[in-house]
Amino acid sequence: MEKEKILIVDDEEGIRTQLSWALQDEYEILLASNAEQALEFARKETPNLVTLDVALSPYEHEKDGLDILEDLLQIDPLLKVIVVTGHGEEENALRAVSSGACDFYTKPINLDELKIIIKRALHIQRLERENKELTEKLEEKIFEDIIGTSPKMIEVFKTIMKIATTDVIVLITGESGTGKEMVAKAIHRKSLRKDNPFVTINCGAIPENLLESELFGHEKGAFTDAYAQKKGKFEYADGGTVFLDEIGELPLSLQVKLLRFLQDYKIERVGGKELITLNVRIIAATNKPLEKEVQLKKFREDLYYRLSVINIPLPPLRDRDDDVIILSDAMLNRFSKEFNKINLSFSHKSILKLKEYGWPGNVRELENKIKRAVIMCQSKRITPYDLGFSTTEESKKPLSLQSIRENAEKEAILEALNVNNWNVSNAAKYLDVSRTNLYGLIEKYKFKKEEEI
């Protein structure tokens, strides 16, 4: 493993020698006595950290440490700079920190203290670089806010690119939670209508007696409580896109009106007599098998064929290969920032559980589990328990009272150990048992710390 590079910038040879001697066993040391040398090293050697003397030169026209601090950070924004000050120069040190230096220390140098400051700065830098690399890798896997690298999702992305700039009607199908609305928004953003409205209508969430008015609007006096003229959502979407979510829930009476609209793109408000021509694109979505609904006479066959000019089937999460892990990492990163919990990661068992689970609720269920885990976790490692998975394997043997008791006991002990970061004394208090008793149970069930739940 290559040593991390530290650039020591100081015009005093004694300081450079002292720091070089103290740090050379752990780090690769570069030495610079003036600003020009320091900048040259920063460009050519890409150091991880710089110790920078504030009073770098006694000469009036030469640059000091504060003068080149900004230049150093422009060369590498993730570079860690620790400024060195003499007594009475605390104001300069604070200026340097406000300008981007990560820390400062005061002469005379306390080597033990300086080593701690350096280790902390380099640790933070490693985390920042890892996060940057993760973000860059993730960006390569994102298409219009949709994350996916599996072959089935690549096909979805290709279809979106092919149809986005047309006005063809699109039907998006897939289980609940697969991201149908995200695909509809991606089509809209890639289309020539992207600067115009994207209006979502949930056909299953609006009462049937109000749905017609919501879609097409109404005139004043059209019915009781119609005190004023009201535009429908189709009118508000003029020039843009209408997304009809849960189209399979649309009542048959309104299916007729929607079919008529799709024939000439004209509407008539409830209680109105004037035909209004609209310029909208229709994207519909359903988690129902519409072919079966047609057979059951619950969905009009002519409307089905009108809507499904282009059909985009979204695969369930269980059929998307390793996308579940990519999605999990992205969600963990997002929720960690949201709830201010840094450096979280999944335990090995958690990754296995994420891969093995069937995900009946698909991406939406995954998002809920990751969010729960970030909120509930007690340590830096996300466990299956944090994710809401059972901590015991399902027994293939017939259940007995004894096995039920043992399973409950195992789950309670593992919860206590993980909540208390495997501190047996605290876990024993958590369970209200003696430490000796808990050690015996750990031995009985052969629990090991490395096999986090």
CA distance 305 to 80: 62
**pLDDT for the residue numbered 84:** 86
CA distance 118 to 24: 13
**pLDDT for the residue numbered 395:** 36
Q: Dig out the tokens for 303 from the structure.
A: 């409307």
Instruction: Name the strand (E) or helix (H) holding 208.
Output: helix 208-216
Q: Which residue in 134, 155, 132 sits closest to 143, CA to CA? A: 155
Specify the residue for token string 């860059």.
136
Q: Report H helices in 311-381.
A: 323-338, 348-356, 362-376
CA distance 131 to 148: 19
Residues 285, 243: contact at Cβ < 8 Å? yes
CA dihedral 60, 61, 63, 66 (to 10 degrees): 50
Q: Which residues contact 215 (CB under 8 A, 6 or more apart)?
A: 201, 232, 233, 234, 254, 257, 258
Total Cβ atoms within 10 A of residue 36: 12
Residues 143, 326: contact at Cβ < 8 Å? no
Report which DSSP code applies to 264. H
**pLDDT for the residue numbered 411:** 74
**Termini Cα distance of the chain:** 32
CA distance 257 to 253: 7
CA distance 242 to 282: 5
**pLDDT for the residue numbered 368:** 94
pLDDT tens string, the chain, 453 residues long: the values are 689 999 999 988 999 999 999 999 999 999 998 888 999 999 999 999 999 988 776 554 556 778 888 899 999 988 999 998 876 667 777 888 878 888 888 888 888 889 989 998 898 888 778 767 766 666 667 888 899 989 999 999 999 999 999 999 999 999 999 999 999 999 999 999 999 999 999 998 888 878 888 899 888 887 877 888 889 899 999 999 999 999 999 999 899 999 999 999 999 898 888 899 999 999 999 999 999 999 999 999 999 999 999 999 999 999 998 899 999 999 998 999 899 887 788 887 888 899 999 999 999 999 999 999 999 887 778 888 889 886 444 434 455 667 667 777 877 787 778 777 777 877 888 888 887 888 888 888 777 654 444
**pLDDT for the residue numbered 393:** 43
Count of positions (residues) in the chain: 453
Q: Is the peptide bond before 108 cis (omega within 30 degrees of 0)?
A: yes
- Tell me the residue type at 284: A
Q: Which residue in 328, 339, 408 sits closest to 368, CA to CA? A: 328
Residues 347, 382: contact at Cβ < 8 Å? yes
**pLDDT for the residue numbered 315:** 96
Q: Which residues pair with 5 in a beta bridge?
A: 28
**pLDDT for the residue numbered 188:** 97
Specify the residue for token string 């149970």.
441
- Domains located in the chain, CATH noted: 5-138 (3.40.50.2300), 148-315 (3.40.50.300), 319-382 (1.10.8.60), 390-453 (1.10.10.60)
